[in-house]
Amino acid sequence: MSALRLGTFKSKGREFFGAVSASGIIDLSARLGGRYTALIDLIRARALKEAREAANGKPDVQLAEVEFLPPIPRPEKIICVGINYPERTAEYKDKREQPKYPNLFVRFPDSLAGHERPIVRPKVSEKFDYEGEIVLVIGREGRNVPRDKALSMVFGLTLGNEGSVRDWLRHGTLNVTQGKNFDQSGSLGPWIVPAEDVDPGKPLHLMTRINGELRQDDNTERLTWDFSWLIEYITKFATLKPGDLIFTGTPVGAGGHQTPPKWLVPGDVVEVEVPEIGVLRNTVVDEI
């Protein structure tokens, strides 16, 4: 049985969620009788089996007729993990020590575009960069979750480009919020693959390509803080809820850390891939 691919879409002015097949979208908003107004409601209801049973037959909408939105367009929390692959600390070339705990920060929903939608280089900077990441989609509420039960919190996996405006990351001395939250500077998608279909506890191969050139290439078995560790740690201070997102960190190879830097420019195509999940693809445009 092929993996279920759940996403959120817009067609003819209507937002809906559905399952992606090879030829189109199965409209689960309609096929489930309107019982769930959005994908996040289906996740809250733990109705994956219901969705899987409805995701069959001919598609209701052709792929060419839809706009991909972020699979969870309006999550309550988007938590991002910085410097989570072993060589990332050295990549900064500032003699910083390997951190004892992860660097965490948040993004706003409006900073993320969907699959095949443009990502925007802002007017204020040419130092626009990419960061390919695996994103955990939380499936149930939890606080103080022990590590051996942490992966049971994961509804599924998606992909993210944690787009960054590098010279705005240090406007303050102790934060990166500004450089991580320009409107439509990052992306999320193309869809969510449930944890039943892609085991978050097994190694996953993460790649980022710019115009077809492989720039980032690593495996989650090398993470400094793995998925279960992150969930245990985050739930010590925050209650995770269905639909919350955790960007789990990017490998070495971002443009700003290369010599000379390779910043994104309009027309560049950014692809983030994990074979078991799919390919998230976006083209860079300049802010109007």
Domain boundaries of the chain, sorted by first residue: 6-69, 78-286
For residues 20 and 38, give the distance between their C-alpha atoms in angstroms, rounded to a whole number: 15
Q: 26-54: per-residue pLDDT in tens?
A: 999 999 999 999 999 999 999 999 999 99
Q: What is the mean pLDDT of residues 207-225?
A: 97
* CATH-assigned architecture of domain 78-286: Alpha-Beta Complex (3.90)
* 96, pLDDT greater than 90: no
pLDDT value for 88 = 54
Q: 226-258: per-residue pLDDT in tens?
A: 999 999 999 999 999 999 999 999 999 999 999
pLDDT value for 89 = 58
pLDDT value for 87 = 74
pLDDT value for 98 = 73
pLDDT value for 95 = 63
E-state strands within the chain: 6-11, 14-20, 24-27, 61-62, 67-69, 78-82, 103-106, 112-113, 119-121, 128-129, 132-138, 154-161, 164-165, 186-194, 205-210, 213-219, 245-247, 269-274, 278-286
* 65, pLDDT greater than 60: yes
Closest Cα partner for 275 from 210, 215, 201, 217? 217
For residues 238 and 151, give the distance between their C-alpha atoms in angstroms, rounded to a whole number: 16
Q: 107-141: per-residue pLDDT in tens?
A: 999 999 999 999 999 999 999 999 999 999 999 99
Average pLDDT of the chain?
95
pLDDT value for 99 = 78
pLDDT value for 100 = 87
pLDDT value for 173 = 82
Q: 2-33: per-residue pLDDT in tens?
A: 899 999 999 999 999 999 998 899 999 999 99
* 148, pLDDT greater than 80: yes
pLDDT value for 94 = 57
* 67, pLDDT greater than 70: yes
30 backbone φψ class: left, alpha, beta (φ>0; ψ -120 to 50): alpha
DSSP assignments along 65-110, one per residue: G-EEEPSSSS-S-EEEEES-STTHHHHT-S-PPPPSS-EEEE--GG
Q: 160-197: per-residue pLDDT in tens?
A: 999 999 999 988 888 899 999 999 999 999 999 999 99
